[in-house]
A = this chain, B = another copy of it.
């Protein structure tokens, strides 16, 4: 898995599909410089090996009525593994929580939440998050405006690194 290193063509495929996940296979093949059939085999292999975890349309949250984005920093009373896992499981079941990451430092978790409006978020905050067992502190920050939101990884950095240490 981790031993199966990728060649430059595989990395190009990943970079192209990260930029446009709905590109046809022939277009992709043209861009990476091989013919279509082997290109398709490579894509399937990358999917099976987990380098590609899925494909998603990027929908406009605001246009769909989710006007509010909030980051919530959560501190727990107990950081025992069972308690951490229990909180993570809660987050997986809350639809308004789109991301949940465990952090080092002062807070234990950062949550990225969306909501239709402020009152919708407040309802979630006071009715769900703050009433959850073991939640000791929650600090929320509203997103005033988004300046950059690029999914995935910077492939140019990856290529730079690989060219310096082969």
Contacts and interface: CB of A to CB of B under 8 A. Distances in A.
A7 interface: no
A57 B17 CA distance: 5
Contacts of A18: 56-57, 59
B22 A51 contact: no
A156 B114 CA distance: 13
A-B interface, 9 closest residue pairs, ranked by CB to CB distance from nearest: A95-B154, A17-B57, A88-B147, A21-B55, A22-B55, A100-B148, A103-B141, A100-B147, A102-B144
B57 A98 contact: no
Given A88-B148, A147-B100, A50 B60 contact: yes
Interface string A26-63: 00000000000000000000000011111111111101
Interface of A: 1-2, 6, 11, 14, 17-22, 50-61, 63-66, 69, 71, 88, 91-92, 95-107, 109-110, 114, 116, 139-154, 156-158, 161
Contacts of A158: 64-66, 116
Nearest to A111: B148
14 contacts: A18-B57, A21-B21, A21-B55, A51-B63, A53-B59, A55-B55, A57-B152, A58-B151, A65-B158, A98-B152, A102-B143, A102-B146, A103-B142, A109-B147
